[in-house]
Amino acid sequence: MSHPKVPSPFAGARVVVTGGAGFLGRPVVELLRLRGAEVHVPRRAEFDLTCERDAARMYESLRPDVVFHLAAEVGGIGANQANPGRYFYANMAMSLHLIEQARVIGLGKFVQVGTICAYPKFTPVPFRESDLWNGYPEETNAPYGIAKKAALVMLDAYHRQYGLKSSYVLPVNLYGPHDNFDLGTSHVIPAIIRKCVEAVASGARQIECWGTGSASREFLFVSDAAEGVVRAGEVMDAPEPLNLGTGREISIRDLVGLVARLCGFDGSIQWDSSKPDGQPRRCLEVEHTAARLGWRAQVPFEDGLSETIAWYRRSRTT
């Protein structure tokens, strides 16, 4: 969906993007610069944003008009199972300190990227923003999801009490070039791509996948997500949760078959049913966001997968 070519409210603004060197952060930074913003990316080595003192120092040093908070400590099901305490603390602390310091300095706007993991485990499909509080999240990623959802509550409270302008988006599972392909911490698409590409390269005739393959997921190409995040920052002044997705789901079993075909892997797939499937289904209702932002996902799924596979193959040889 196109929107009028009017000057962005970020033109000439000093914008800080936490996590700006990350997977989603890269295209967000690029889009903001194309819109005329002066973008600054705080480095973790210089600012530990889980520490209140460092969060305050970041504001003093970079003097932002707008903050896009994308930094997160996150991983797939295995990483969430191994680090529940750390994932809750790190994500809660970053949002807590950054939002409070935004109030202290009178920041123009705070844009928070939430997570689909915040939805209840058995949310009716498609997920509607009005269902966000109707149950407890899926257990393996609940600490991460609740920490991110708490930031929504804080932004709403700060908007009502202090007038802090903010936006809040809930992206579905992202994929694309520059994703994390570490099998210990990656999400499902990069993990499957890596397994299939390596099997083709080595001549292996079998790969193993977690769970039963029965769960479904929805996936959004990272450049589409970046446009949605920036649009939310431009359009929204209050932290109304907005889904960012395609509105289409695919079972993990079908996803593995599709990735295998696109990678040229024709061996067997072994499912380890002793490993968890995670949330049974994920698919978003996206019409509300389309109406609010004038935004829809543009990249067809197979095209995005093919681009991601090609990028990963290039990255293995450089």
Domain boundaries, the chain: 14-175+219-248+282-298
To the nearest 10°, the Cα dihedral for 262, 76, 26, 128? 90
Residue 226, token pair as written in the block: 């970046």
Question: Comparing 70-79, 137-146, 289-298, which segment has the lowest mean pLDDT?
Answer: 70-79
pLDDT of residue 4: 47
**252 pLDDT higher than 70:** yes
274 Cβ partners below 8 Å, 6+ apart? none
DSSP notation for 38-71:
EEE---TTT--TTSHHHHHHHHHHH--SEEEE--
Residue 2: pLDDT band (50, 70, 90) is: very low
Architecture of domain 14-175+219-248+282-298: 3-Layer(aba) Sandwich (3.40)
Does residue 145 sit in helix, strand or coil?
helix
Instruction: Give the Cα separation of 135 and 118 in Å (integer).
Output: 10
Residue 75: pLDDT band (50, 70, 90) is: confident
CB 32 within 8 A of CB 257: no
Q: Which residues are catalytic?
A: 144
CB 196 within 8 A of CB 265: yes
| For range 90-108, the mean pLDDT | 98
Residue 144, token pair as written in the block: 């991460």
Instruction: Give the CA distances from residue 85 to residues 54, 118, 154, in Å, rounded to whole numbers and listed in that order.
Output: 21, 16, 20
What's the pTM?
A: 0.93
